[in-house]
């Protein structure tokens, strides 16, 4: 799976949009971009995933550049409950026999009141 | 559905003691995983299983053993606990088909080895 690079930490004011970047310059054509987050003392939570097109769900939007070498997770109206570590993961599309997720260190997002 | 549950929630062990962490899921998932999380290290995969009766090593398997005798349960064993195994342990499960790679995580077990 392709390697990802994320900033160690970010701050965002409550009510503003939080934009979390991720670089994945070695991504392959059959690899998806996934985002998870982990709120303090809880297990990680799936947020969203995408291949080429921008995606939106009830939690967030995912913007993937045309060359697919980077992406941005957008939380449109950040709240204090969005304070968490956000993980960007690149994965192949189809399940393999040795299927597993490798989490990196992620971005620690602080939502400021 | 209870989702993914872990037992116990907290445990303190002395060096050299053994214990087993239990993970149970009621979603009929084929795949199950054990991770550990240490401050500043993110999540690291210990062992995983792609089906009943099968297990495989992850990133940091040394000092741990696992078993998947029943599809709904995944056990993580520490035969001789060491202080370096002080950590928070998370179990997860996922479907075995489809292209959405969504793992469901348990609440975690906080283990301290003194």
Sign of CA dihedral B106, B84, A9, A83: positive
> What pLDDT does B99 receive?
53
Sequential pLDDT tens for chain A (113 residues): 668 999 999 999 999 999 999 999 999 888 889 999 999 888 889 899 999 989 999 999 999 999 999 999 999 999 999 999 999 998 875 555 555 677 788 999 999 99
Residue A76 CB contacts under 8 Å (≥ 6 apart), including other chains: A17, A60, A61
Q: Cα–Cα distance between B69 and B33 in angstroms, integer?
A: 14
Q: Cα–Cα distance between A32 and A108 in angstroms, integer?
A: 22
- Residue in A34, A32, A33, A47 with CA at minimum distance from that of residue A82: A47
Preferred mutation among B43, B44, B89, B99 to probe A, highest tally of A CBs within 10 A? B43
> What pLDDT does B28 receive?
92
Q: What is the mean pLDDT of chain B?
A: 91
Out of A49, A98, A106, the one facing B101 most closely (by C-beta) is A49
User: Parallel, antiparallel, or unpaired for β B10-13 and B109-113?
Assistant: parallel
- CA nearest to B55 within chain A: A98
H or E element that contains A11: strand A9-13
> What pLDDT does A18 receive?
98
Which tens digits make up the pLDDT trace of B41-89? 778 889 999 899 999 998 899 999 999 999 999 999 999 999 999 999 9
Contact B108, B7 (CB under 8 A): no
């Amino acid at each position: 799976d392709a390697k990802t690079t994320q900033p160690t930490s970010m701050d965002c004011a409550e009510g503003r949009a939080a934009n979390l970047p991720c670089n994945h310059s070695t991504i392959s054509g059959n690899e998806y971009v996934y985002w998870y987050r982990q709120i303090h003392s809880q297990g990680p939570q799936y947020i969203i995933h995408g291949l080429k097109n921008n995606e939106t769900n009830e939690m967030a939007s995912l913007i993937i550049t045309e060359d697919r070498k980077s992406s941005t997770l957008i939380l449109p109206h950040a709240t204090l409950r969005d304070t968490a570590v956000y993980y960007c993961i690149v994965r192949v599309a189809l399940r393999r026999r040795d299927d597993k997720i490798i989490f990196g260190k992620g971005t620690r997002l602080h939502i400021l009141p | 559905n209870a989702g993914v549950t872990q037992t116990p929630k907290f445990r303190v062990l002395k060096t050299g003691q053994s214990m087993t962490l239990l993970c149970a899921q009621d979603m009929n998932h084929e795949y199950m995983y054990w991770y550990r999380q240490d401050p500043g290290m993110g999540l690291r995969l210990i062992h995983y299983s792609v089906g009943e009766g099968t297990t495989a090593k992850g990133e940091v398997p040394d000092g741990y053993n696992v078993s998947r005798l029943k599809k709904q349960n995944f056990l993580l064993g520490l035969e001789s606990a060491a202080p370096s195994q002080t950590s928070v342990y998370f179990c997860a499960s996922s479907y075995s088909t489809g292209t959405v790679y969504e793992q469901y995580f348990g609440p975690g077990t906080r283990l301290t080895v003194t």
